[in-house]
A and B are shown apart, each in its own frame.
Chain A
Amino acid sequence: MGKVIIKNLEKRFGDLEVLKDINLEVKEQEVICIIGASGSGKSTLLRCINALEEATSGTIEVDGNDITKADGNINKYRQNIGMVFQQFNLFPHMTVLRNISFAPVSLKLKTKAEAEETAMKLLRRVDLAEKANVHPEQLSGGQQQRVAIARALAMNPDVMLFDEPTSALDPEMVGEVLNVMKQLAKDGMTMIVVTHEMGFAREVADRVIFIDEGFIVEEGPPSEIFGNPKNQRTINFLNKVL
């Protein structure tokens, strides 16, 4: 489980065409890193996959369910896709434990006790068990992002989307978040990661996708994209960021 197929995806904001004819197949357990300049459309692509942005045309299938036709089922569909945001977006009025257990309990997928047990397990996995009963404001950025990952995992998704998960972090906290993500990749999670962390992409990604001006310009294994990029635009971009 965790297969994503995107066909002929287009996204417009009014007259602005942000994504143009995107075609992408993500296999089960594959880790994809999407790179590109700001404004290239990479975050929009990610947000289309769980319908935070509505696709203008094209289809997006996750495990055979087409989100562009999901309508009433959109909540069910989203339960299968975890999302981690640049700004963490933890719920400030809830404790860490409740941030994680809240959705499964509210959606009646688990009892409170079950959900809290799972939440504690996930907290141990991101090495924050001792923070279960504090509020997010008392955590560092890196800790908040690890809780956010645990919160997404609590829904037991088959696909995880990461939208620049380390961009809002102080440099010394980037590592702890990337380590959690690496472990997740090792455990076989299907992951689509929009990132500026080229080191992470090189080390963890099965495939790197370079997006520019709404097109997938080049894709391939990291060794190829970073070692021997073919497209001039890819070369220009990598020269700037590496």
Chain B
Amino acid sequence: MNIVALVVQYWPRLIAGLGLTVQITIISLFFAGILGMVFGLLSVSKRKSLRAIALVYVDVVRGTPLLVQAFFIYFGIPQVLGIQSDPVVSGIITLSLNAGGYLAEIVRGGIESISKGQMEAARSLGLPYGMAMRSVILPQAIRTMTPALINQCIITLKDTSLLSVIGVTELTQTGRLIIANNYQSFEVWAIVAVMYFIIIMILSKISKRIERKMSYGKSDN
């Protein structure tokens, strides 16, 4: 069977797989964004204890493989708690926590890239720390953070393929299941690779456009 016929035959399943991949990516990045912002802010706090909390979280995320994190959350924790775990939910939790750690580092780096004088100027006007952070530091930091943020989005999208090992039928798992039927490894993996490639190229193009807009246009708020 040639590749075109394969694509036609398995199109609904491939598209469903890709759909789940994209859904998991978006939901995970949403929660990761919240985690990243919270822990990123903690890591630039004046209080040592708050910085320590952020440090532990980031170190754990960076110091363990994503696959181990997924196994721990899917198999390990449910066993101790005696609950049934759902592969998709476990997958989303894993990716959220994982990307959250990396985003926290990006947020920290972005905030630290803004000159100390900005915070001092804002505080010298009598603005409280939170207000100065929100209105003066973060709007500038986000601009410098954008390329790294986009990069993390792409990494997280690709990382969803690891969730195939806990049985999430995203795109990679779909490929494996199809091969289990027809043994056409070369053709199927080529199709799957091209599908990832296309979706990531689309995302890159969109993000390039956002990046350009942010670096040239100045927001007026």
Give A contacts to B, CB under 8 Å.
50, 52, 75-79, 81-83, 85, 87, 89-95, 98, 102-103, 106-107, 135, 148, 151-152, 155
Contacts and interface: CB of A to CB of B under 8 A. Distances in A.
A93 B126 contact: no
Closest 4 CB pairs of A and B: A79-B126, A89-B121, A83-B124, A89-B117
Interface residues of B, number: 22
Q: Which of A106, A151, A155 is the most central at the interface, judged by chain B CB atoms within 10 Å of its CB?
A: A106
B120 interface: yes
B127 A93 contact: no
22 contacts: A52-B123, A75-B123, A75-B126, A75-B127, A77-B126, A78-B123, A78-B124, A78-B126, A79-B126, A81-B124, A82-B124, A83-B120, A83-B121, A89-B117, A89-B118, A91-B118, A91-B122, A106-B135, A107-B126, A152-B124, A152-B125, A155-B125
Contact of B136 (A87, A91, A135, A152): A91
Given A87-B117, A89-B115, A89-B117, A94 B125 contact: no
Given A92-B140, A93-B139, A103 B118 contact: no
A192 to B, nearest CB: 13
B218 to A, nearest CB: 6
B125 A103 contact: yes
A81 B120 CA distance: 13
A152 B131 CA distance: 17
B215 interface: no
Nearest to B124: A83
B219 interface: yes
Contacts of B117: 85, 87, 89
Interface string B84-112: 00000000000000000000000000000
Interface in B121-165: 121-128, 131, 135-136, 139-140, 143
Contacts of B219: 93
B135 to A, nearest CB: 6
Contacts of A135: 218
A232 to B, nearest CB: 36
Contacts of B143: 93
A151 B140 contact: no
Nearest to B143: A93
B221 interface: yes
Contacts of A151: 125
A77 B220 CA distance: 29
